[in-house]
Amino acid sequence: MADDRQERIRNRAHQIWLQEGQPAGHHERHWHQAAADVDQEDAAGKSVAKKPTKKATGAGKAKAAPKAAKPATKASKPKKAAAK
């Protein structure tokens, strides 16, 4: 389990390093920031795991708005018969 945490910290520190433009000499700061991020993720995961999940019900879902009726098209005018 500790190896998994170390690997997650290592990956996160690498992400931070890349996001900052790969600066030299900041590896300790990146490591500590990554460790804090991983600890925060773990704490958030534990608090979520304790709460029972609610099942989605149809009552809570929003219904789609009804489609607007298309305006009636104009009927073509009847052609007048040519006078003879």
Q: Please give the structure tokens belonging to residue 57.
A: 């019900």
pLDDT of residue 41: 92
d(CA 37, CA 15): 12
pLDDT of residue 18: 95
pLDDT along the chain (84 residues), means of 10: 90 95 94 95 75 55 63 64 62
C-beta separation of 16 from 32 below 8 A = no
Among candidates 45, 46, 43, 14, which has minimal Cα distance to 30? Answer: 14
pLDDT of residue 46: 74
pLDDT of residue 45: 82
C-beta separation of 9 from 34 below 8 A = yes
Is the model's pTM score more than 0.95?
no
